[in-house]
């Protein structure tokens, strides 16, 4: 797991013949858990196959808590048999789901981040509104978490937002990258249609606002600071 698709390319495919793929023996497997681009995952898979090797794109979701507890959602793309063979390792980290051929794990993670970004935005605005309305924000969250407003995002990040704990499980700047891959992705299909994702585009801009404010290395729960600034708080 590294930071950006450019890092994946450098570490796996380039590095002047000293990259991961160059040093892999026939029959070996590269498992990339970076949140990266689907087309790059397919390129790495194809390059691995020319060497008699395999590549699996398996980005994860669940944050630092999921990692510590071994409860990550692992979104795996590549050869199904290879992914099943890796099950004993994946089970140490969490639950792996086979999503389809190479690149499908990355596409799944992009869709995951679209949902997470929207949830973080809604949670930020709900907390701000509750405070402005004179409510005890902790009581508000306890009251609604069991209803339709409840979510894993609320469970992972709600208390952190209230306590102003913005230590990162994942950097906010990575959300700009992940959402950008969804908003800007041109599907490799005959009609070249780009999905229209207004919510994801808004989330991307708000996380970009965090980066512009110098907060790109805060956790994603720091999105509430952008909403607060917009409300002169």
Closest CA to 124 of 230, 228, 218: 228
**Which H or E run contains 79?**
none
109 is known as an active-site residue: yes
d(CA 110, CA 114): 6
Closest CA to 205 of 89, 130, 117: 117
d(CA 92, CA 182): 29
Catalytic residue among 95, 109, 138, 204: 109
d(CA 104, CA 110): 10
| Cβ atoms 30, 24 nearer than 8 A | yes
Q: Supply the residues annotated as catalytic.
A: 109
């Amino acid at each position: 797991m590294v930071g950006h698709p450019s890092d994946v390319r450098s570490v796996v495919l380039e590095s002047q013949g000293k990259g991961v793929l160059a040093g892999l023996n026939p029959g070996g497997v590269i498992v990339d858990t970076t949140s990266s681009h689907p087309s790059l995952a397919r390129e790495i898979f194809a390059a691995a196959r020319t060497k008699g090797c395999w590549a699996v794109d398996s980005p994860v979701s669940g944050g630092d808590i999921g990692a510590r507890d071994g409860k990550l959602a692992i979104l795996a793309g590549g050869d199904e048999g290879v992914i099943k063979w890796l099950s004993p390792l994946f089970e140490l980290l969490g639950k792996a789901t086979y999503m389809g051929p190479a690149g499908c794990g990355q596409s799944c993670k992009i869709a995951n981040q679209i949902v997470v970004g929207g949830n973080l935005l809604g949670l930020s605005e709900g907390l701000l509104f509750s405070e402005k309305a004179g409510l005890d924000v902790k009581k508000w969250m306890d009251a609604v978490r069991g209803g339709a407003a409840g979510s894993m995002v609320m469970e992972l990040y709600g208390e952190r937002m209230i306590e102003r704990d913005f230590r990162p499980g994942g950097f906010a700047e990575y959300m700009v990258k992940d959402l950008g891959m969804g908003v800007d992705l041109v599907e490799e299909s005959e009609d070249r249609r780009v999905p229209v994702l207004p919510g994801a585009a808004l989330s991307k801009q708000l996380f970009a606002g965090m980066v512009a404010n110098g907060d790109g290395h805060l956790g994603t729960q720091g999105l509430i600071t952008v909403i607060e600034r917009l409300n002169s708080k």
